Amino acid sequence: MVFGDTQAVSMPLPPRLPISERLRRAGVAAWSILGVLLVLFVAFKGLLYIRVIFAPIGLAILIIFLLNPLITRLEERGVPRSVGTFLAYIVMIGSVTLFLMLTIPYVARQVEIFSDQWPEFRDKTVTFIDDAAASLEDRFDIEIDTTTVDCLLSSENAPSEQRCDEVSKELRDSFIDHFGNFTEIGRSLLEIILVFVLAPLIALYVLIDLPQLKRDLLNLIPETHRDEMSDLGAKIHRTFAGFLRGQLLVALFVGVASAIGFRIIGLPFWLMIGAIAGFFNLVPLVGPFIGGGLGFLVGTVSGGVGLGVQAAIVELVVQQLDNHVISPNIMRRTVQLHPATVMLALLAGGALAGFWGVFLGVPAVAVTKLLIGHLWITRVLGDQPTPYTRGRKADFDRRPDLPEPPSVTPEDSSNS
């Protein structure tokens, strides 16, 4: 191992474990993983009965991960943690208020324009859908029913009133079967309001007492494993927090860049479409297609295929900048998963917990991968994991049996 310049330290390799010991450890690790998965399955089944708490807890965790770095820096500068927490909340609320004050006038103006142009836009949309369906029918010899769209948009080409009444009844029955009756819908709206009230309060109390909570959790762990669990917790925190902050930064970039690009090409409702593109970009791999598809549809209906293609190109350029410049620098160091694994995580998360499952499925899989890798390295291979602490000297802090590395001067570091 080389430190600084060309100086090297010869370190004896640890003795290789016998095959029987490695097999025994592999068996113990396998049964431990199965036991952990069984406990998680039982816990998940139990949590399904109290799933109403998922949304406020999820939003509270997001607020905690966003504000804790700022509060920690204020605390390091001598500001009491409770005061720093309230200051961070003031900054957050002020930023959100300023953002709404700047954007609401533009959004209100575009909504007003959309309301005025809705009849014309509706007719163009129906015509575009009918023409596209007819073209696909002629080319691929398939039948596409556009009755539902024609009836919902009250098109001149809509079928008889009786047929539209049947379509409306089918949609109403489907909506009720999926979302429940209006009482449940009202209850859901009340839950949404409670989420945005309770989540900041939960996050406030947790942020104030976060250091004490960490100490209490570590005190529950036997002292022999306390350093290991602390190091593992730091790695999990880095993975989870890095993903959440990175996703929010990427979504902000995509929304702003898309809105600016749509404004340059003259796309109607450019701000709303850009905001939608940024919001759905929170869903990895799937969200970018929603913003691009919506921009193409609005552009094609309002200004022809040429404007729709321009809108699609704008979103393509934004996504390329995101995929090759923004996301690699923000996300690569936190969530290292294969794209196929990401897609499977999205499908499983969406099936289990809806939007929150889709949003948190990827970091959950990344944390699971981290835990399994830690168990394999420590329990099967019998090796020491790479510590979370930055710097090469941390390896020697964790392994006192290794010789101390030579000190490195700033001049030597610059020469290396």
| Residue 256 pLDDT > 80 | yes
- Is 277 or 134 the better-scoring residue by pLDDT? 277
Binning pLDDT at 50, 70 and 90, where does residue 172 land?
A: low
Least confident span in 274-288, 294-308, 391-405: 391-405
Higher-confidence position of 137 and 174: 137
For residue 341, the model assigns a pLDDT of 76
- The pLDDT assigned to 265 comes to 92
* Span 158-184, average pLDDT: 57
Is pLDDT of 157 > 50? Answer: yes
pLDDT band at 5 (very low <50, low <70, confident <90, very high): very low
Q: Is the pLDDT of residue 26 over 80?
A: no
Q: Does residue 403 register a pLDDT over 50?
A: no
Is residue 19 over pLDDT 50?
Answer: yes
What does the pLDDT read at residue 85? 94
Confidence of residue 159 (pLDDT cuts 50, 70, 90): low
User: Would the pTM count as exceeding 0.95?
Assistant: no
pLDDT band at 160 (very low <50, low <70, confident <90, very high): low
| Of 50-59, 136-145, 206-215, 382-391, the least confident | 382-391
Mean pLDDT over each residue of the chain, to the nearest integer: 75
pLDDT of residue 411: 43
* 70-84, 89-103, 162-176, 331-345: segment of lowest average pLDDT: 162-176
Which of 12-21, 316-325, 342-351 has the weakest average pLDDT? 12-21
Give the mean model confidence (pLDDT) for residues 143-154: 67
Mean pLDDT of 322-344: 69
**How does residue 173 score in pLDDT terms, banded at 50, 70 and 90?**
low
Place of tokens 């959100």: 96
Q: How confident is the model at residue 400 (pLDDT cuts 50, 70, 90)?
A: very low
Return the pLDDT at 396: 34
| Residue 332 predicted with pLDDT over 90 | no
pLDDT at 355 over 70: no
Q: Is residue 163 predicted with pLDDT exceeding 80?
A: no
pLDDT in tens, 63-95: 898 899 899 999 999 999 999 999 999 999 999
pLDDT, residue 391, reads 38
Mean pLDDT of 181-207: 75
Mean pLDDT of the region 158-185: 57
Q: Ranked by mean pLDDT, which of 103-112, 174-183, 218-227 comes out on top?
A: 218-227
